[in-house]
Amino acid sequence: MARKHAAILQELEIDEVKGYTEAQKKYYTSLGFKPYLNEEGKVKWLRPDQHSLRINAKLKRPFWARLFPHKKVQMPHRRKHRPVLVKFVQRNWLFIIIVIIVIVAVVYIFRNPQLIF
């Protein structure tokens, strides 16, 4: 969910909303959404609980916390390291298979020279 929301200025009547078809307006109202005009001049369709959350979100933080914001300190995550051999096989599995097939073919030809001659 986005952190920065434009402030809601006023609730609009459904007849005042422009840029939406009648079917869209009917669909949004059937889902329980109401049109609101935000400070950027755009129409936002919000449910009543979303509207109240936007109002309360600005009031939740105390005044001193807004004056002196502090940065959250996150603990660094430790990476899980795989063994070197496992990483090598994962990255080069196709080349390893081709080399094994070539080695098996050469050994087979040296053991059965009658196949060539």
% of the chain at pLDDT higher than 70: 80
> Of 31, 35, 40, which Cα lies nearest the Cα of 18?
35
Which are the contacts of 81, defined by CB distance < 8 A and separation ≥ 6? none
Q: Strand pairing of 34-38 and 43-46?
A: antiparallel
Average pLDDT, the chain: 82
**4-8, 24-28, 54-58, 112-116: segment of lowest average pLDDT:** 54-58
Rounded to the nearest 5 percent, the helix, strand and coil shares of the chain are: 50, 10, 40
How does DSSP assign 56-93, residue by residue? Answer: HHHHHS-HHHHHS--PPP-PPPPPPPPPHHHHHHHHSH
